[in-house]
């Protein structure tokens, strides 16, 4: 087992990456006014909560934070067995807001496409920016992240896993070889 | 995720895990129904056919909305009577519809067992029973459960009274099976002529005095009296007498728990099985049932049409 | 033409024979039964070693559908199915189209069976003209034509006075009244036995009272009139009790049970199996037990199939509207032999329920191997194992709930008037 799994980021590295991403978000958006954070279930919403906490620590402002489940928007519904449907929970309007979409890992880009379609059905944001903890390459759609924690070159048959503790705080990012 | 059913014929065949999954999926779809743009692309390119051999506005509309909100092509076919009076057999009708590559056939029929018959003969399409004779109406029971869960936070341990024409109610049977599976106590009550033989063997407490059934209940479900059936050979002397002894009113509802909710599958016969004061009272959650109906039917359609056999 | 059946185990309840004997047939008539009979001069010698040799089986309740419903069955295919099931004689019910209430149809049935059939056909005529329950048929004339009894089978004679007059009138001609006892009012549209299963399936129930209450009335009318009453296809415990009690008091009553009513319960309807839909309906396990008790103590006289062939189009519809009935001629014998294996009946009792007792119930001049009688004989292998494939049945119809069942026991050779009407391929 040990030889097939490799730790890429430990807890403190993740903390630092999140802190940096938060600074970049605040710098680019000139503060946190009109920002909202939407995490992609599941995992992305835990990271979004963390970024929200950092913004509060840095700027002192409260940023609305929601979660989106992309299952309804997947392009592979009807292929393979039926997937469990999670809940989308965005209890505020998106119209004319700058949305920071947060996910753990960006890979083919299909999940992000689904998430953007979901957001567009719910409201009309001024912009959507993407923050990810890991970019592992292999994009299949013209999508790129605005904020990246770590670029991790990977093979297609490898898996990247983000582990959280019971309080949804990130513990580790692992690369798993087949 | 384990949802192993290809057809939804009745709640009798659903396990606790199945019901929990359906309710959780429905809760996810509820959010869509509250948006300004009530449409998601989930079932794009899927075809859903509502095959209704019996009049129904509510159930058909609910399934139609459910399909359309998930971007499926939803077609309604209304037919009347059985294959004997219609000239074309049910099997031929079904095979024709399947040949149009329908993914799901939602069927209502006056003959108990008709959806089962269909399911046994179709090789590709899924069948959802939208009510067959006096047998089952599973989507109604599931929306009832979702409504109860929302208001009570749970189903297990609750006492649910179902009152009316139990003998000829597919809703009563589906509610009974689903509620028992989820751990509720079910009381059935009505005039003795409307209580079918052997129903207590299915796990229900049976009463002819509705006050006993209502006492300390968490949920009271009133069934619709089919006015059109009560001509000629009747099970009750008059609607007037029925209302006197078997309707839910402002007095007998006080016997239930103070926070009890009142449900009804609709459409209401005000003044027959339910008094207007109760029907319009704070305890009624009838419109929540209607809203949940769409979400539950979206969940059923998704669970049947959102996967495929090949991996 | 002389035939000798050697080494068989002859069971003939009519003359209390139960043992290993030979049997000689000459010109279609039984001429001798004895041990080690000579075969010299015989045109044919049949070795029946290991087989039972019984009088040709008699089914006193079949529907041949001819004339009128030949798309379901006709006299040729129906009697072929009879022969395959070991039956040499059948009594056929009058619900043909037109109904059998006149001697033209009686003649037609008997002649067609004699010329082209594989079994003797004994027609039962309706009690009332057109089976309408009001005025009596010409019972004396019909008896002369060859009718053996009267029944509005499928329908109850609702009016008690009509049934009383029918019993009185038929009694004067020594003819039995054959009752399909089911109160339509109490039945109230029921399509299966009333109870838990019907409630689960959401199907309208037909309670036991619909049958038993009518049987009670019919037995009392038989008592009043002194007429002979034969009760068709009984299905409930109370019915058995009523008939047992009536017989004990000297009422001239007989009755029959079908193999499905002593084999299956209402559970067979689950899955809305239209082949388990019939009138009277399949009942509970307790009723099945009562049928066996009634057979064991002799209350029930006959096992009859109520062979009811239907075209697939009449069955392949919604349960509520599917036709009633199932075919039974080709499965009756193994299902009856199950009762012997279960210890309910002795082999002799079982054969009696299929030979002399039904013959006596309806005055059919068959069911015996006495010397001088017509050589209607069945050779049975009680241990023959086979699987029913509905597609290969001789009947035109396929409506059986026993399709795919592993069965034990079969007619290996059936002989009518000394001529082979069926021989099983092995």
Q: Work out the pLDDT band at B86, boundaries 50, 70, 90.
A: low
H or E element, residue A38: strand A35-40
Out of C330, C361, C392, a domain closes at C361
C245 and C262 belong to one structural domain: yes
Q: How far apart are CA C125 and CA B37, in angstroms?
A: 73
Does residue C337 surpass a pLDDT of 90? Answer: yes
Pairwise CB contact (< 8 Å): B109 & C318: yes
Say whether both C100 and C12 belong to one domain: no
Question: Is A165 inside any structural domain?
Answer: no
CATH at residue A24: 3.40.50.2020
C182 and C290: one domain? yes
CA of B151 vs chain A CAs: smallest distance (Å): 19
Q: Does C321 touch chain B (CB under 8 A)?
A: yes
Q: Looking at the complex, does the CB of residue C195 fall below 8 Å from at least one CB of chain B? A: yes
In the DSSP assignment, the letter for residue C281 is: P
Q: Which domain holds residue A26?
A: 20-77+84-157
Q: What is the pLDDT of residues B115-125, one digit of tens each?
A: 999 999 999 99
pLDDT of residue B230: 58
Residues of chain A neighbouring B25 (CB-CB closer than 8 A): 84-85
**pLDDT above 80 for B27:** yes
SS (H, E, C) chain B: CCCCCCCECCHHHCCHHHHHHHHHHHHHHHHHHCCCCCCCCCCCCCEEEEEECCCCCHHHHHHHHHHHHCCCEEEEEECCCCHHHHCCCHHHHHHHHHHCCCCEEEEEECCCCHHHHHHHHCCCCEEEEEEECCCECHHHHHHHHHHHHHHHCCCCCCEEEEECCCCCCHHHHHHHHHHHHCCCEEEEECCHHHCCCCHHHHCCEEECCHHHHHCCCCEEEECCCCHHHCCCCCCCCCHHHHHHHHCECCCHHHHCCCCCEEECCCCCCECCCECHHHHCCCCECHHHHHHHHHHHHHHHHHHHHCCCCCC
Average pLDDT, chain A: 93
Say yes or no: B229 contacts chain A, CB-CB below 8 A: no
Q: CATH number of the domain that C201 lies in? A: 3.20.20.140
CB contact at 8 A, C89 and C148: no
- Domain boundary (C309, C332, C361) is at C361
A73 interface with B at CB cutoff 8 Å: yes
- pLDDT of B1 over the 70 cut: no
How far apart CA C215 and CA C229 sit, in angstroms, is 10
Tell me the pLDDT band of B85, cut-offs 50, 70 and 90.
Answer: low
Lowest mean pLDDT among A74-88, C153-167, C326-340: A74-88
**Number of domains observed in the structure of chain A:** 1
The catalytically annotated residue of B11, B25, B47, B59 is B59
For residue A80, give the chain B residue with the closest CA: B311
Q: Are residues C280 and C324 in the same domain?
A: yes
At B240-253, the pLDDT tens digits run 999 999 999 999 99
Indicate which residue of C306, C314, C356, C381 is catalytic.
C306
**Considering the domain boundaries, does residue A167 fall inside one?**
no
Q: Are residues C38 and C152 in the same domain?
A: no
- B185 touching C, CB under 8 A? no
B32 vs chain A: nearest CA distance in angstroms?
9
Q: Is residue A59 part of a domain?
A: yes
Q: Do A73 and B42 touch (CB under 8 A)?
A: yes
Stretch C267-288: mean pLDDT, rounded? 97
Chain B nearest CA to A122, separation (Å): 7
Q: What is the CATH number of the domain that holds C382?
A: 2.30.40.10
Bridge partners of A170, per DSSP, are A164
CA separation for the pair A26, B134 (Å, rounded): 63
Instruction: Return the percentage of chain C with pLDDT > 70, whole number.
Output: 100
Band of residue A1 on the pLDDT scale cut at 50, 70, 90 = very low
* C-contacting chains (≥3 CB pairs under 8 Å): B
The closest alpha carbon to B31, from A66, A69, A88, belongs to A88
What is the model's pTM? Answer: 0.92
pLDDT at B81: 58
Selecting among B86, B124, B154, B229, the annotated active-site residue is: B86
ipTM score of the complex?
0.92
Asked if A77 is an interface residue toward chain B (Cβ–Cβ < 8 A), one would say yes
pLDDT at C374 over 60: yes
Q: Are residues C20 and C97 in the same domain?
A: no
What's the gap in Å between the CA of A128 and the closest CA on chain B? 19
- C-alpha angle C317/C156/C58, rounded to 5°? 80
A69 in contact with B, Cβ within 8 Å: yes
Any CB–CB contact under 8 A between B199 and chain C? Answer: yes
Report the alpha-carbon distance of residue B140 to residue C417 in Å, rounded: 65
Catalytic annotation present for B89: no
Asked whether residue A162 is assigned to any structural domain, the reply reads no
Structural domain for C378, as ranges? 2-52+374-423
At residue B83, the pLDDT reads: 53
Distance, in Å, from the CA atom of A133 to the CA atom of B102, rounded to the nearest integer, reads 43
Residues C225 and C283 in one domain: yes
Chain C residues closer than 8 Å to B120 by CB: 271
C290 and C335 inside one domain: yes
**C317 to chain B: which residues are within 8 Å by CB?**
82-84, 89-90
Q: What pLDDT does A61 receive?
A: 87
Interface probe for C, chosen from B112, B118, B121, B173 (most Cβ of C below 10 Å), is B112
The answer to whether residue B311 scores a pLDDT higher than 50 is: no
Tell me which long-range contacts C184-191 makes (C-beta under 8 A, separation of at least 24). C184/C156, C184/C158, C184/C210, C186/C210, C186/C213, C188/B233, C190/C281, C191/C277, C191/C281, C191/C319, C191/C320
Active site residue B137: yes
What total number of domains does chain C contain?
A: 2
Catalytic residue among B46, B69, B109, B137: B137
In a domain, A1, yes or no: no
Q: Does residue A144 form part of some domain?
A: yes
User: Contact B233/C197, CB-based, under 8 Å?
Assistant: no
- Chain C hits for B198, CB-CB cut-off 8 Å, are 195-200
Q: What is the mean pLDDT of residues C225-240?
A: 98
Catalytic option among B35, B58, B121, B240? B58
Within an 8 Å CB–CB cutoff, is residue B7 touching chain C?
A: no
Let me know if residue C367 belongs to a domain. no
**C333 & C245 share domain:** yes
Interface test with A, best of B2, B4, B20, B28 (most A CBs within 10 A): B28
A147 in a domain, yes or no? yes
* Number of cross-chain residue pairs from B and C with Cβ atoms under 8 Å apart: 80
pLDDT given for residue A3 in this prediction: 60
A72·B308 Cβ contact <8 A: no
C23/C136 same-domain check: no
Put simply, whether C198 touches B (Cβ < 8 Å) is: yes
Mean pLDDT of C332-350: 98
| CB of A78 less than 8 A from some CB of B | yes
Beta bridge partners, C29, equal C26, C374
CB contact under 8 A, B112 and C205: no
Q: Is the pLDDT of residue C156 over 60?
A: yes
Residue B309 has pLDDT above 70, yes or no: no
A15 part of a folded domain: no
Does residue B222 belong to the interface with chain C, where contact is any CB pair within 8 Å?
Answer: no
Q: Decide if C196 and B116 are in contact by the 8 Å CB cutoff.
A: no
Is residue C214 scored above 90 in pLDDT?
Answer: yes
For Cα atoms C28, C33, C35, give the angle at the middle one, nearest 5 degrees.
140
Per CB-CB distance under 8 Å, the chain C contacts of B114 are 318
Specify the DSSP class assigned to residue A59. H
Residues C95 and C15 in one domain: no
Residue of B nearest to C185 (CA): B233
Average pLDDT over residues B182-202: 96
Instruction: State the pLDDT confidence band at B307, using cuts at 50, 70 and 90.
Output: confident
> Contact C185/C237 with Cβ under 8 angstroms?
no
Chain A residues 114-173 with a CB less than 8 Å from chain B: 117-118, 121-122
Q: Which of residues 83-142 of C touch B (CB under 8 A)?
A: none
| Residue of chain A whose alpha carbon sits nearest to that of B34 | A122
Evaluate whether chains C and A are touching (3 or more beta carbon pairs less than 8 Å apart): no
Q: What's the pLDDT at B231? A: 53
Q: What confidence category does residue C323 fall into, taking pLDDT thresholds of 50, 70 and 90?
A: very high
User: In terms of domains, do C166 and C18 share one?
Assistant: no
What residues in B contact A117, CB-CB < 8 Å?
41
pLDDT at residue B15 greater than cutoff 50: yes
């Amino acid at each position: 087992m040990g030889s097939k799994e490799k730790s890429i980021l430990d807890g403190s590295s993740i903390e630092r990456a999140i802190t940096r991403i938060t600074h970049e978000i605040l710098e680019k958006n000139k503060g946190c006014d009109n920002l909202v954070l939407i995490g992609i279930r599941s995992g992305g919403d835990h990271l979004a909560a963390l970024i929200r906490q950092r913004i509060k620590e840095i700027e002192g402002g409260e940023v609305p934070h929601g979660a989106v489940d992309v299952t309804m928007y997947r392009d592979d519904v009807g292929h393979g067995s039926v997937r469990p449907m999670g809940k989308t929970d965005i209890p505020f309007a998106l119209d004319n807001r700058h949305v920071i979409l947060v996910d753990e890992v960006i890979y083919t880009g299909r999940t992000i496409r689904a998430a953007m379609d979901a957001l567009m059905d719910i409201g009309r944001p001024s912009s959507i920016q993407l923050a990810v903890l890991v970019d592992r390459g292999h994009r299949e759609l013209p999508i790129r992240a605005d904020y990246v924690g770590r670029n991790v070159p990977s093979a297609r048959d490898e898996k990247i896993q983000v582990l959280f503790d019971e309080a949804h705080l990130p513990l580790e990012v692992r690369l798993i070889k087949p | 995720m384990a949802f192993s059913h290809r057809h939804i014929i009745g709640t009798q065949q659903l396990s606790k895990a199945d019901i929990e999954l359906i309710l959780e999926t429905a809760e996810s779809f509820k959010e869509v129904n509250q948006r300004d743009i009530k449409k998601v692309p989930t079932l794009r390119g899927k075809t859903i056919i509502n095959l209704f051999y019996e009049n129904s506005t509510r159930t058909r509309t609910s399934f139609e909305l459910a399909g359309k909100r998930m971007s499926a092509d939803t077609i309604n076919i209304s037919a009347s009577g059985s294959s004997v009076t219609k000239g074309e057999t049910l099997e031929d009708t079904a095979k024709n519809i399947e040949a149009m590559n329908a993914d799901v056939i939602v069927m209502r029929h006056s003959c108990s067992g008709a959806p089962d018959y269909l399911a046994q003969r179709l090789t590709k399409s899924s069948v959802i029973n939208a009510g067959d004779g006096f047998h089952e109406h599973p989507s109604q029971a599931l929306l009832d459960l979702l409504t109860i869960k929302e208001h009570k936070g749970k189903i297990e341990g609750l006492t649910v009274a179902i009152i009316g024409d139990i003998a000829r109610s597919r809703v009563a049977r589906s509610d009974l099976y689903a509620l028992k599976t989820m751990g509720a106590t079910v009381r059935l009550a009505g005039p003795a002529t409307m209580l079918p033989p052997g129903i207590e063997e299915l796990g229900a407490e049976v009463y002819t005095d509705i006050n006993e059934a209502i006492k300390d209940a968490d949920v009271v479900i009133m069934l619709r009296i089919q006015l059109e059936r009560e001509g000629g050979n009747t099970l009750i002397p008059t609607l007037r007498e029925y209302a006197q002894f078997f309707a839910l009113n402002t007095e007998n509802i006080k016997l239930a728990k103070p926070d009890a909710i009142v449900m009804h599958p609709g459409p209401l016969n005000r003044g027959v099985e339910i008094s207007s004061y109760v029907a319009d009272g704070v305890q009624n959650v009838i419109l929540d049932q209607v809203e949940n109906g769409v979400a539950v039917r979206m969940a059923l359609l998704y669970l049947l049409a959102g996967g495929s056999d090949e991996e | 033409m002389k035939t000798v059946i050697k080494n068989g185990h002859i069971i003939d309840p009519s003359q209390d024979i139960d043992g290993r004997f030979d049997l000689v047939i000459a010109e279609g008539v039984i001429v001798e039964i004895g041990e080690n009979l000579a075969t010299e001069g015989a045109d044919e010698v049949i070795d029946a070693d290991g087989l039972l040799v019984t009088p040709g089986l008699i089914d006193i309740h079949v529907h041949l559908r001819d004339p009128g419903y030949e798309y379901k069955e006709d006299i040729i295919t129906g009697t072929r199915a009879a022969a395959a099931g070991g039956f040499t004689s059948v009594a056929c019910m009058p619900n043909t189209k037109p109904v059998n209430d006149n001697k033209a149809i009686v003649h037609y049935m008997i002649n067609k069976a004699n010329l082209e059939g594989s079994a003797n056909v004994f027609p039962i005529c309706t009690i009332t003209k057109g089976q309408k329950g009001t005025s009596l048929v010409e019972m004396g004339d019909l008896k002369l034509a060859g009718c053996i009894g009267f029944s509005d089978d499928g329908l109850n004679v609702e009016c008690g006075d009509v049934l009383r007059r029918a019993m009185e009138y038929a009694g004067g001609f020594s003819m039995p009244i054959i009752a399909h006892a089911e109160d339509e009012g109490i039945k109230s549209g029921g399509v299966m036995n009333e109870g838990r299963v019907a409630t689960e399936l959401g199907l309208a129930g037909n309670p036991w009272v619909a049958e038993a209450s009518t049987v009670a009335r019919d037995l009392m009318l038989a008592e009043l009139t002194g007429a002979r009453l034969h009760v068709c296809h009984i299905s409930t415990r109370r019915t058995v009790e009523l008939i047992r009690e009536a017989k004990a008091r000297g009422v001239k009553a007989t009755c029959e049970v079908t193999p499905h009513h002593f084999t299956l319960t209402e559970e067979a309807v689950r899955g809305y199996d239209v082949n388990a839909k019939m009138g009277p309906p399949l009942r509970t396990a307790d009723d099945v037990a009562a049928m066996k008790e009634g057979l064991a103590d002799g209350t029930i006289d006959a096992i009859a199939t109520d062979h009811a062939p239907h075209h697939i189009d009449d069955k392949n519809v919604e349960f509520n509207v599917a036709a009633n009935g199932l075919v039974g001629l080709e499965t009756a014998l193994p299902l009856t032999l199950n009762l012997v294996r279960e210890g309910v009946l002795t082999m002799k009792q079982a054969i009696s329920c299929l030979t002399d007792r039904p013959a006596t119930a309806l005055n059919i001049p068959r069911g015996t191997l006495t010397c001088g009688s017509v050589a209607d004989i069945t050779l049975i292998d009680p241990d023959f194992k086979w699987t029913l494939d509905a597609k290969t049945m001789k009947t035109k119809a396929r409506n059986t709930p026993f399709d795919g069942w592993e069965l034990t026991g079969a007619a290996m050779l059936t002989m009518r008037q000394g001529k082979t009407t069926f021989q099983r391929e092995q």
